[in-house]
Copies of this chain bind each other. A is one copy, B any other.
Amino acid sequence: MNEDFIHKWISQVKKGTLSFIVLNVLKGGKAYYGYDLINEIKKITEIEIAEGTLYPLMNRLKDEKLIKSEWVEQESGIPRKYYSITPEGKNTVTKMEEYWHNLNKSVLKITK
C-alpha cells in the first residue's frame, strides 16, 4: 500500500549515497570503466545504479576534479572510458566518511 512512498524514499536516500559509494570503490587506486562500476557496485552492495544515473554522476565527479578519466581502446569491442580517483578525490572521500559515520551514529541513537 505504501510501497510507493518507500520506493520514492529509497530513491531520495540514494541521492548523495551514490557519489560516496563510487568514490569509495575507486579509493583503492584501481581504475574502473562505467559499465564495470555498475556491476561491481551491484555485486558488493546489491545497489542497482541505472546507466542514466552513473554517467552524469561520473561527469560531475570529473568536473569537481575528484576523478579523472581516460579512453582505452580495446583489442575488440567498444573503447572503454576508465575512471580513477585523484588526490583531491581521496581527500574528499575521507571527509565524506567522517560525516557518514556521524550520521549513522545519530540514526542509531534515534532508532533504538
Nearest B residue to A2 via CB reads B92
A50 surroundings in chain B (CB, below 8 A):
none
- Copies of this chain present in the complex amount to 2
A17 surroundings in chain B (CB, below 8 A):
13, 103, 107
Contact of A2 among B21, B25, B64 (CB under 8 A): B64
Contact of A110 among B12, B44, B104 (CB under 8 A): B44
**With contact pairs A6-B95, A64-B2, A64-B5 given, residues A106 and B13 touching in the complex (Cβ less than 8 Å):** no
**With contact pairs A15-B15, A99-B13 given, residues A2 and B88 touching in the complex (Cβ less than 8 Å):** yes
- Cβ contact within 8 Å between A20 and B64: no
Contact of A16 among B15, B88, B102 (CB under 8 A): B15
CB pairs A–B below 8 angstroms (12 shown) = A2-B66, A2-B91, A6-B92, A12-B16, A13-B99, A13-B103, A15-B15, A24-B111, A45-B107, A45-B109, A45-B110, A47-B103
